[in-house]
Amino acid sequence: MPLAESATNDTLETRFGEVLGRIRGYLPSPDEPLFRRAFEFAAEKHAGQTRKSGEPYIGHPLEVAAIVADLHLDMPSLLAALLHDTVEDTDTTIEEIAGQFGAETSVLVDGLTKISKLKFKSREEAQAENIRKLIVAMGRDIRVILVKLSDRLHNIRTLDAMAPAKARRIAQETLDIYSPLANRLGINWLKNELEDYAFRAMNPEAYDMLRERVAQSRRDREGYIADVNVGLARIVKERGISAEVQGRPKHFYSIFKKMQKSGVEFDQVNDLTAFRIIVSDKAACYEALGLVHDIWKPVPGRFKDYIAVPKPNGYQSLHTTCLGPKAQRVEIQIRTAEMHRIAEHGVAAHWAYKEGRRIDPSGNQFAWLRELVQSQAEIDDSQQFLDSVRMDLFADEVFVFTPTGDILSLPKGATPLDFAYTIHSEVGHHAVHAKVNGRGVSLRHELENGDTVEILTRTDQRPREEWLDIVKSSRARNKIRQYIRREERDRAKDMARAVLSADLRRYGIKLDSVVKSGDLQAAAELLKLQNVDQLLIAVGYGKVAKESVVSKIVPPEVAARATKPTGAVRRIGERIAQMIGRPNREAAVKLAGMDGEVLVTYARCCNPVYGEEIVGYVTRGRGVVVHLASCARIESLEDERRIDVEWEALGGHHDDASRRRVTIRVVCRDEPGKLSEMSSAFTSRGVNISEAHCRTTDDGMSTNVFEVMVTNAGQLSEAMKTVGKIDGVIRVDRVQA
């Protein structure tokens, strides 16, 4: 064995012994042979694999196990930490894990394994689906996310070996998803460390500056910090309260966020150090608070009682800010030793394997997790799902009361409509007004801490699209969106049934008969749709022509004897057109599957021009809105309401019918005559300038924005090329809103 490899193995063996020592410290009788076997199994499977740093890969799962041991988790969690990458990165199967290390461990490993076998359209979609899988798994067993957070912590501790771009991507995902999850689970030390390492990767200059300034400030303020510590200790001791006083520096990312939020420099941040008073029981917390306020004047609006109203993750403490020695602000937290343990270790503090107890996932502190699990099942769109997760995880909270005195936690800025949907979906759907503290308010009213809220409902009330602008919670937004979508689908299906029924009647065929016989299902499959419902929705939205459906059902010999459409059929067709929008005979696009004429408008965000690749979107009341296929906004729109469209040649009327307004930005050197040259260039290509705005900058450049009228994509392209060839022109861009 080479000397270097021998030294590496000795180091790993030493580290293995250290981790095992940590486990012995909290598990009364750990299965050491099983833990050793899992380590050796993982080492064998990962043999030959190295991390970006060049170190043997097995070092990573061993370090993850060390962090899991710091969380005092059980043996299946420790085994999952060692084995978590074997299924994803080696030829190991879940069945093999179950056979050798038990079903419980295999379930955890499966929840931690990314979906790597499927192909996704984008990195964002892959991220969303892996987060979705993780949330489902943690809904079944909270240990999955605890091991995953341990995995992410070690990964982010070792980001230095990564390429900067990949390191920033991992850091951003950590700030977006994983540190908020740690916060929701109440594991304060883990959240702080995740944030600080992510901050260092995202903004190394700011991180290094803060680290140096905090160290210098602490040296400069050591005397003051000692005075506060002594002062607090004396205050409680004189009244006979047994207490421990601690002073701790705030972590770098929290200081950075405070500077960003308040728009202040480092020197203006007063409370860089927070102080804790840890006492024996709840009564002593309030007694210590009274003593502190008696000596040091409290700052108004800076007191929070998380003991009487705990945070959803179980966090309890009294928070106050006072004017301490030298009239400087001092941030103080007062809690019991048990509260402090939960504040630092969160949900992990509740795992008591010595007594064989497990945490209850049905408790109030996991309401947010149940909402996440429910939302992933209700949202199909990947980006929408990620936005919903971020909204749930990042939301600051307000605590309000029901009329019976129950406490509900809602996102900051929440309205009575959010409250209604938190009570029940049906209460939300039928809400019309609210009473807050006995006073009538609108559904848009912003709730505050301590409000008592009552919802007034009416059976004929229904959700409206503008409600999406009122609510702040992802639950309410998802429920409203689902209701509106369901209503639109039902209306589309009703219209499709009417149109197909009328068309089939021409051939002496009843719609109910082809549904019962399975012919309509067969037609759906021929059109590459899964079932009759999808077929009806597609016809109702105009994505599939009714003729395409009828041709799959009616035999050719029967079709040859068809009668002409009756007035009733034409009226039904008109109703579909009215559902999508009013007729517009001058539309320059053809809609796939629609032989009737409907309102066509062009999206202002991208202003498509004749000849460019386009896509349509069916709206409510505004007909079909046509976007550029490359428009960024189209990705956020519902797939099922998109419709294929193409440009329609309009012969001699082509120029008048398809002339479109487009915004062009030209950056050039600020020189005399340039504006005239650009105007001539546009004119030479038959492009009319309807509006122009010019602005010069101190660096001798000029930015010129032109509103021009063009008839087709070729004319636009040629005009932009001609302007771009002018001497002194740096850049020519098309501007989209």
SS (H, E, C) 178-204: HHHHHHHCCCHHHHHHHHHHHHHHHCH
The token duo for 470 is 């009122």
201: its two tokens: 């990767």
Going by C-alpha positions, the residue among 405, 449, 459 that lies closest to residue 427 is: 459
Task: Determine which helix (DSSP H) or strand (DSSP E) holds 465, and give its type and residue range.
Answer: none
Strand 645-647 to strand 589-591: parallel, antiparallel, or no bridges (unpaired)? antiparallel
| Amino acid in position 598 | V
Least Cα distance to 626 among 654, 650, 606 occurs for: 606
- Cα 534 to Cα 142, 378, 489, 512, distances in angstroms: 37, 17, 9, 17
Per DSSP, the three-state class of 133 is helix
The CA distance from 233 to 242, in Å, is 9
CA distance 582 to 560: 33
672: left (phi over 0), alpha (psi -120 to 50) or beta: beta
Closest to 579 in 3D by CA, of 682, 487, 644: 487
The whole-angstrom separation of Cα 581 and Cα 643 is 14
Question: 638, 633, 295, 286: which is closest to 488 by C-alpha?
Answer: 638
Residue/partner pairs of 231-239 with CB below 8 Å, 24 or more apart? 231/295, 231/324, 231/325, 232/275, 232/277, 232/292, 232/332, 235/288, 235/291, 235/292, 235/295, 236/277, 236/279, 236/288, 236/291, 239/287, 239/291
Could you list the active site residues?
A: 88-89
Residues 6+ apart with CB under 8 A from 61: 42, 46, 81, 82, 83, 84, 85
Q: Measured between alpha carbons, how far is 504 from 520 in angstroms, rounded to an integer?
A: 12
